[in-house]
Every structure is written in structure tokens, then in C-alpha cells.
Structure 1
Amino acid sequence: MLLHLLTPSSVAPARPSPRRPCAAAAVTVRCASSSAASPSSSSAAAVAAAGQQVANVHSYGTVDFERRPALRWSSLYRRVAVGNGGRPVGRILADWDEGERRLDKWELCRIAKELRKFRRFNLALQVYDWMTERRDRFPLSASDMAIQLDLVAKVRGVPDAEEYFEKLPDPLKDKRTYGSLLNVYAQAKMKEKTENTFELMRKKGFATDTLPFNVLMNFYVDIEEPEKASTVTDEMKKRNVAFDVCTYNIWIRSCAAMKDADGMERVFNEMIADESVVSNWTTYTTLASMHIKFENFEKAEECLKEAEKRTTGRDKKCFHFLITLYSHLQKKEEVYRIWNRYKATFHTIHNLGYQEVLSALVRLGDIEGAELLYEEWASKSSSYDPKTMNILLAWYSREGFVVKAEQTLNRFVEKGGNPKPNTWEILATAYLKNNQLSEALSSMEKAAAVTSASKWRPRLTNVETLLAYFKDKNDTESANRLMSVLESRGCAENEEYKSLINTYAFAAA
């Protein structure tokens, strides 16, 4: 959400250009003009010796290096992203470092940045962990620590992130790492720790930039206390902290959360009057989404047209928002128009792009179009992300098309896709709707058996349906199998699950 603002855009120093040896410049070989006499044998020998000297200079590898095809960071990124045979990231990096070319910090930070962009947080963290183990080669700055702290929270949880922060040397506990910790607490919706960390940043003189105020404003909107966002903007004005586009966008959202349409317009007009801020597509998509909530559909469409004018050929996110918001306006022709423009703008369409359009078409009820798009994705994709397939699978499940759901999942597995736990539960839900309880239980067991960092837990409604059925049929064996699923996912100690288990107490027998 706000992570891309947590640190300067330059995580590491710019990658230096390869240096070319200049020793050859010291050797000058003069060729005789056509009018000159033929060189004597001694002068010919001198020329030959000079030529050999040039050859010796270039034999250090300069010519070979220049002829060798460049090994770009993206080549290594692809190996890391696809897993390269299921090997750990550290092993992939070590093999590359030893066998291909010695890695530098710029490449590794660039790879981690790309992984974060596509929400591959676990892989990005492994890249940073690998660098951390080699700090003599890769000295990490406070900005690097801020990124790593955020990744630890996303992958391992808030307690591990807190421990990571506590172990940082005092010089690295600056506004960047404190800002990252603030964002961790805010995203976890931990009110007391968020407010206490912000107050500590105030006392240390770290609350002088826009970012921590934006995090706090966004936090209040997320915890449904939007009225407090204006108190934050009041403090910013008092302290002469400059607003940015993000500040205004969050402020607009807070007005919308309070159903204050006039307030939205007032904040927007204040932003237009602020000469230090230039409104971009995010402002207009934010306004459009709020107008959709207020059912001001005409105003929403006007905002989307303004957002379109501000799109660039470098930002795919704008296209994602346009597609989603036009689908909420039930503008199917606009969704297809933006999608065609998207494909014409970018040579490569990643999984996320297909996911946005698939979701939009399902929302519009254009299932035929969604199925054609899914086939297009399946024929082109080299990375079978189950999130893409889950969109269509979930619709089949809701509508009771069990056979289609089974066929879609089977084909996905045949092509090399690896279903996630929620994929199997989507299928289990379809089975439950079709009263195929045995098949539903088997799907839940497959979900629990998936080895991943997923924190998946079965839906309470599905667990209750199965427990009630097994109790009614006095099917202790199946009930115990379900209990094994719950225990394997750490549900047995959760109060909500414990309540269900106690209600159907025979399942524990």
C-alpha cells in the first residue's frame, strides 16, 4: 500500500558502468601514407612489435568481455522467481555468484525490488537474508534495513519484525527504520503500538517528513476512525509538513468513509490550489471509487476519463484500476477498450494484469469472455499462478458448476500448476453446495497437505457444515479426519474453531 514510499527510490547506489582498460591508448601505431616508401625490415619489425603489444593489452579479456553477451539482472531474477528446480534462493544466488558472474549489491536490490512489486515477499526476503550473511561484501544501509524489516513482518509476522528492529544497531534506528516499523504496526491494525511508535518518532525528531503522517492517516481510515485523519492534516499544517498527492488521496478517502461528499470536493479543490502538488491518475481513480460508493456514477465516469489522460506507458497499475472501476460501473465496452490499450502499450502482460481483467469480466457476468481470456493466459503463461485460475474456479463454485470446476483444476495441474490451499477449499465449497461431503473433505485434506508459507485456515462455515453432517450420520472416522485438518493448521486452539468443536463434541472422540 505505502511500502513503495518507505524508502528512497534508490535503494542502492547506481550501478557503475563497466570500466574499459585504457592501457591500449598509450600505444600509437602510425601507418605510412600511400606516398611514403615501403617500410624497411626494421620498421616492419617495429610495427609488428607494436601490434603484439596491442594484442597483449587486449589479451587480458577486454575483447572477449565486449563480445560476450551481457548477463542482465533480469536473467537471474527469472531463475529466482521460478524457483529453478525448487532450489532455495540462497543456493541459486551462490551458484550464479560462483559460476556465472560475481554479483553486486545493485543487482540483488533490483531483483528484490521486482519480487516485492509482484508480492513475492518470501523470495525477496531470502535475497536480503543472503546479502545479510555476507555483510563484508554487501554493506546494508538503513534503507535496506527498513525494507528487510517490512519483509520480515510480511513473511514471518510482527513479533519477528519487532525482534529484528530491536537487534538493529542504534545508528540504524533512524526515521527510515522507525517509519518501516510504524507501517508494520499500521498494516497489522495494532492501534496502541502504531500511535506509540508515531509519538516516539515525534520525540526523536523523525516525524518531519510526509510519510509517517500518511501512514497514520491511512491507518485511521483502515480502522474505521476516519474522522481522525483531519487531525493529522491539521498537525501537518501546524508543523509546516508538506502535503503530497498521497496525503490528499487518503484525506479524500477519509471524507468518503464519513459519507462526506462535500468534504471530498473541498479537499480536492484544496489540492488543486496547492501549487506544490500535481494531481495524477491516483487522485482521479480515488475520487472515482468514492463516487461509485455514493452511486454518483456520472461523476465517477468523468473522473475515470481524467485518470486516463494521465496514464503513462510505464505504470500498469493505472490500467488495473481503470479496468476494475469501469467494471463496477458495468461498462463492459470500456473494460475491453482499456484492456486492448493495455496490451498495445506493454509487450508483456503479467499474471496480475490477467487477474484484474478476469475479475472484471466475472463481475460483469461475461463468463464467455472470461473463459476465452483464461485460455489466452493458460496458453501464454510460463508461470501458472493459481490466483488467476482461482477467479474462474470461484465463479464455477458459486454457481454450482462442479464438473467445470474439476476440469479447470485438473487441466491446471496437468500444465504444471501448483494449487494453493485456498484453491482446494474453493473446490471443497463447490462439493458442499452439491452435497458431495466426502469429496469436500478430501479437498480440505489436500489443502492442509500443501507445504507453503500460507496461513490458510478452513472457512468456519465449511467446517460447521462438515461437522454437522458427520454428527448427523454418526461418521466418527470422517469427523476425526477433519479434526486432523484443523490441528495441522493450528485451528484447535482458536476460540472460534474450539466453539464449533465443542458444539460437535463427538468429533474429538
Structure 2
Amino acid sequence: MWALRRAGNPLRVRAYQALSAHGCANLEVILNADAKNVEEHHERDCQKLDCCHQPKPLVCQSSFSSGRFMWSRGFSSQASASSGDKQDELEEGFSDLEVPPEADKKDLDLTSDESSDEDTIDAIGLSEVEADAKPEEPIKKSQSTLLKALLVSPRVDVAGATKKWLNDGNTLERSELFYVLLSLRKRKLYTKALQLLEYVEESKLFDLGERDYASRVDLVAKVHGIYKAEKYIENVPASHRGEVVYRTLLANCVAIANVKKTEQVFNKMKDLGFPVTVFSCNQLLLLYKRVDKKKLGDVLTMMEKENVKPSLFTYKLLVDTKGATRDIEDMEKVIQAMQADGIEPDLLIQATIARHYIFGGYREKAEAILEQIEGDDINENRSACKFVLPLYAFLGKKADVERIWKVCEVNARLDECMSAIEAFGKLGDVEKAEEIFENMFKTWKTLSFEYYNAMLKVYANKKLFDKGKELAKRMGDDGCRLGPSTLDSLVKLYSDAGEVEKADSILHKLSYKNKIKPLYTTYLMLLDSYSKKGDVHNAEKLFSKVRQMGYTGRIRQYQLLLEAYLNAKTPPYGFKERMKADDIFPNRAVASLLAATDPFNRKNAMSELLD
């Protein structure tokens, strides 16, 4: 029987998980605060677990074979030395989310309000879990009086609001229950959704099935953490404690990148006699894509052995993994294997392929894919607009961006507006991006943080400090929640303006007040700034914070810290031993830095004399 890591090998790379953000507390005060409190905060607050809270995936440079599963050999368990350097270079472009190591001890499983990784769309697969419960005729928003009652009810009194609604003569049908739960989930009101489901179960309004229990497992995991969800499964009737319930727990373990728990749940599913499904395999692929590329081949080999046929999502993960390393030839072989299996790429995969062609320097191939995405008539293929807008911008084709936006402009959708803001911002047309952003308020009275953040990213990327600062204050005034990507944009805004200490202060104060775990790249951004200044003191403090937040096993942070010592002309005594203790092995770049900063290196001593 195939079992994952039963020997308990040490974890080298973890992934990120963010806490839910609960509003932008005192944002203007923090933005205007003095930066002198940075060190005090480091020493006073940074030991708190909840104080603060993505590099392109690392992947080996092997080639695929032509068979359906033969390309699994391309994800071998050993990476070449040359590929290691490339992996670390790519690390700066992709953000993984992590959970602090203390989470296992305290059962503190953190959930994310936002993620930059498209994989999270399919990570839980709840649409599959609840598919059977989907009503044949959807409830219209204006028709659900229960939803309206729950939205205005206090967070702690969902049961009371539901009981009152029933006492008013209303009858709860299963179709409406499904609609209300789905609506609450979309609003990320997981606590209210869980309380509603708990009331339904305790009141015995319906006979619950396995998928109903799976839905509750998912909500318990989101609200209270995976360990409480696992405990709840023990109370599920044995007749309903099936594969769907356990795979929901598995998906939640993957969502917080808890490798040890994911593998435990997977092995338990096999021990219980559940068949190995493509859903479970996809969860493992998603996990290892983020934290340990060397294990992708093991999963693919297992799929071959268990005769598990890859799904569209399987191929999406493999296409993105190969494309991320600019291994275009092997990416195309994955696409050929997908088509040989009779699976045609959807718009998301096509856009992913085009993006990798663009950044790989294959402009003509990218343009050909974009033509396919558009189809014969973009007016009849409106769903493609949000995908092609930013891609044309990356190609620098402003005329095409304007052409596509003209199709959407009259009755633009939210996702199209966000893509257009990103596209025009990338092209440097900040005024047009601002116009689109302001026009959104004419159609929608309020906007969520992600749309503000799209505009904030434009300001940050174009180094428009004053405009970015003003928008950040506006977000606070409008009551927007802060998320990791918003915090990332604010830090970039201040760092690029030369206010590194202020950026550090904002990072720690806002993450603490809003209970956000910052992105890995946010920390790298600051660490890089301190490194260039040769500020070893603050670089070491930030390095410790990165480790405390669970971002361990990544070589880039060690490289930046070494560069700080190099620029400060200070020897990093015992650095090799630190890396060895952390199970980190130097790549070519880090080895060069170690040699350059080694005070006992005779060559360096001669260089200093010559200088």
C-alpha cells in the first residue's frame, strides 16, 4: 500500500495561510505614525503568535515522456544543481501561504480571506460536496427572506433569528437552505453559515446525508480549525462517515498547507478502505506544488498504479508547474497528454498557458492562444474578456486592451473592471484605471477590499506614493477590511518611496490590529531593502519574524540576510551552522555569498588588502 511520508521526514517547505481580516482599524493613524516605534514593536509584540501574519514554485528541470503517465518521471525526486538556482530565482514571483508551527500545538488553524493563487478556487471542491443538494430552480436573491434576516442578525444569534423566522410562519425548504448557505459562504460569513447548519441539525428540520455532514465539517474547519473538524467527524453517524466527509477534511488540511496532517488524513482514508480518487490526488498535487515539488512525481506514479485518470484540474496544476520554470517544451507535452485524454483546456488553463508563453518569451505563441480565447466574436464570448485584458497588457498591446474594454464598458462586470484596472495600470495609463475605479461606485454603492486593492497595486507599482497613501486612508474611511495583498501593496508603496522603517512599522501594526498574516513576499520585500542598506540589525529581526510566522525551509531569506552582512562588511559567524540546523542547503548563489563573507577565506583577505 502506498503511504506518504510515514517515517516523518522533516518538512523543508511549508505554505502560507492568512487569518481573516476584520476591518482596517485606525489605518490613517498608523499611516501617519512615526517610524521610531518599529524596534519597540519587534521586541514587544513580535513574540505573539497572532501578531503578523509568493516566489514561483520550485520545480525540477526534467523532461516528460510521451505517455499519459510517463511524464510523471519528469517530476523526479531529485533536482539538478543547476535547476536549484533557477528555482530560487523564481521564488520571488509566487507567494505561498503558511501556518505558524505553533498552530499544531494550539489548534490555531488560520483561514484566509484572500489568496493570490488561482489554485485555491478548486482547493476545497465544495461544489462537488454540495452538488447533490443544488436546487433545480435557484432561489432569487430578493426572494430569500431568511437570508435577509440572517444578514442583519447579530453574529452570535443566528439560531434565534432562524427560530423567529420560522415562528413567523415561514417554512424552510432544502433548496432555500442550500441557497442561504451558499450566499453566506460567498460573503465569507462562515460563522453564521455554521451556526445555521448547527441549528438545522439540532432541530432535526431535515434528515441529513453525508454531503450535509461534509458541509458542516468544512465550516467547522474554517471557523474552528482542522483539529476541531476532525473531532466533529467522530460524532458523525457511521453510516454517513464516508469518503466525502474525509476528503473535505483533507482539502481543508491542504488549504492551510499542513503537510503532516494532510498525509495522516490521506493514509487514514486508505486504511478505511476508501478508493483513491482523482479529487484526493489533486489535493496532494496542489499541496506539493506549493511546498515540495519533488513529491509530485510520487503522486503521479501512485495515480498510474491505482489507475486514477487525471482530471482537468490535474492538468492545470501540471501545466502551471512546468510553465512556472519556463520549461515550455515540457509544458506543451503536458497539454498534448491532456488532449490525448480527450480533455480540452478551459479559459483558465488557456490563460495560464498564454501567461507562461508571455513570460517565457514566446510572444507569437501567446498571441495565438489569445486569439483562441477570444473566439470568432468577443462580443459573443464575453466571459473571455476578464482573462485577455491583463494578458494583452503584459504584451504591451494597448489597442487590444482598449478594444476589449470597449466591449465591456457599457455594462461592465466587477471582475472585468478589476482586470481592466490591472491592464491599464500595467500599460501606465493610470488615469484610465482611476476612471474605471471611480465609475464602479456609480454602479455599485459599495465595493469590497479587493477592488480598492487593485487600484492600490497600480499606485504601488507606479510609485505614486501620495495617491496610494490617500487611497489607503479612503479604504479606512470606507470601512474596508485589510487582507494580505493590501498590506503587501502598502509595504511596497512605502518601501519604494525610501521609507523602509515606516513600511516595517505599517507591516507589523496593521497585521497585528487586523490579525493578518502577511505574504512571504511582503517580508522578502522589506528584507531586501534592509539588505541593500547593510542594516544587519533590522534584517536579523525581520528574519526571525519570518521564521516565527512559519516561513521556513526557503533559501531566499537566507540569501538576503547574507547580502545584508556582505553590504555591511560584517562577517556572519556561524551562518553555515545555522543553515545546516535548519536543513537548508546552499545553492550556487548562496555558496558564493558564504565564500564572500567568510572572514577566514584567504582570498577575501587578499581582496580587502588590495581594496
TM-score by length of 1: 0.66
Amino acid at match of 2:152: N
Per-residue CA distance 1:46-80 (angstroms, 9 max, x = gap): xxxxxxxxxxxxxxxxxxxxxxx99623x655675
Distance 1:140 1:290, change over 3 A: farther
- Correspondence 1:355 to 2:418: yes
User: Where in structure 2 are the equivalents of 1:303-318 lying within 5 Å?
Assistant: 303-309=369-375, 318=384
SS at match of 1:365: coil
Match of 1:32 in 2: none
One-letter code aligned to 1:103: L
Aligned residue number for residue 174 of structure 2: 105
**Inter-partner Cα distance in structure 2 for 1:170 and 1:314:** 50
1:20-419 matches, within 5 Å, as 72-73=143-144, 77=147, 83-84=151-152, 90=158, 93-94=162-163, 96-99=165-168, 101-116=170-185, 118=186, 120-121=187-188, 123-135=189-201, 136-225=204-293, 228-257=295-324, 259-275=326-342, 277-309=343-375, 318-342=384-408, 349-350=413-414, 352-396=415-459, 401-411=464-474, 416-419=478-481
Q: 1:228: Cα distance to partner?
A: 3.8
Give the match's secondary structure for 1:164.
helix
Distance 1:396 1:14, change over 3 A: closer
Change (3 A) 1:308 1:134: same
Alpha-carbon separation, structure 1, partners of 2:381 and 2:511: 35
Instruction: Write the mapping of 1:459-470 to structure 2, written as runs, cut at 5 A.
Output: none
C-alpha contact 2:460 2:490 (8 A) present in aligned 1 = yes
Contact persistence 2:278–2:308 (CA under 8 A): yes
Which residue of 1 is the match for residue 73 of structure 2? none
- Alpha-carbon spacing, 1:166–1:286, altered in 2? closer, same or farther (3 Å): farther
Note the residue ranges of structure 1 that are not aligned, 5 or more in a row: 19-68, 468-485, 497-509
Which residue matches 2:133? 12
Distance 1:100 1:377 in 2: 39
Residue 413 (structure 1) shift? 5.5
SS at structure 2 position matched to 1:7: helix
3-state SS of the aligned residue for 1:133?
A: helix
Residues 96, 457 of structure 1: alpha-carbon distance in 2 compared, 3 angstrom cutoff: farther
**CA RMSD between the two structures:** 4.7
SS in 1 for 2:446: coil
The structure with the larger Rg is 1
Question: Offset of 1:372 from its aligned partner?
Answer: 0.4
Higher-helix-fraction structure? 1
> Structure 1 residues 169, 218: closer, same or farther in 2, change over 3 A?
same
Give the Cα–Cα distance (whole angstroms) in 1 for the partners of residues 184 and 379 of structure 2: 21
Offset of 1:171 from its aligned partner? 2.9
| SS at structure 1 position matched to 2:131 | coil
Describe the superposition over 1:77-108 as per-residue Cα deviations: whole angstroms up to 9, x where unpaired: 5675xx43876672654554444833323212
Cα distance in 2, alignment partners of residues 134 and 371 from structure 1: 46
Distance 2:251 2:527 in 1: 36
Q: Contact (CA 8 Å) 1:361, 1:370: kept in 2 or not?
A: yes
Aligned pairs, number? 417
Residue 590 of structure 2 aligns with which residue?
none
Deviations 1:445-475 (A, max 9, x none): 677555xx7556996689999x9xxxxxxxx
CA contact (8 A) 1:198 1:207 kept: no
- Over 3 Å counting, the alpha-carbon distance change for 1:161 and 1:382 in structure 2 is farther
Q: Deviations over 1:96-132 (max 9, x none)?
A: 444483332321222332444x4x33x1442232122
Structure 2 runs not aligned, ≥5 long = 1-120, 531-541, 552-611
SS in 1 for 2:128: coil
Q: Deviations over 1:398-447 (max 9, x none)?
A: 65645434543455566x44353766886687567476989996997677
TM-score (norm 2): 0.56
The answer to whether the Cα contact below 8 Å between 2:149 and 2:165 also exists between their aligned partners in 1 is no
Aligned partners of 2:336 and 2:174: how far apart in 1?
44
Q: Which residue identity does 1:366 align to in structure 2? A: D
Q: Do the aligned residues in 2 keep the contact of 1:281 with 1:310 (CA within 8 Å)?
A: no
Deviation sequence 1:7-34 (CA, Å, 0-9, x none): 255242636899xxxxxxxxxxxxxxxx
**Secondary structure of 2:467 counterpart:** helix
Q: In 1, distance between residues paired with 2:340 and 2:548? A: 55
- Give the CA deviation at 1:310: 9.9
SS in 2 for 1:256: helix
Q: Is the 8 A contact 1:11 1:109 kept in 2?
A: no
Query: Given the superposition, is the C-alpha separation of residues 337 and 403 from structure 1 closer, same or farther in structure 2, using an over 3 Å criterion?
Result: same
Distance 1:258 1:437, change over 3 A: closer
- The CA distance in 2 between the partners of 1:384 and 1:212, in whole Å, is 36
For 1:246 and 1:272, the matched residues in 2 are separated by 13
Looking at both structures, which has the greater relative contact order when contacts are Cα pairs under 8 Å and sequence separation is at least 6?
2
Separation in structure 2 between the aligned mates of residue 253 and residue 438 of structure 1, nearest angstrom: 36
Contact 1:393 1:408 in 2 (8 A): yes
Shift of 1:376: 0.7
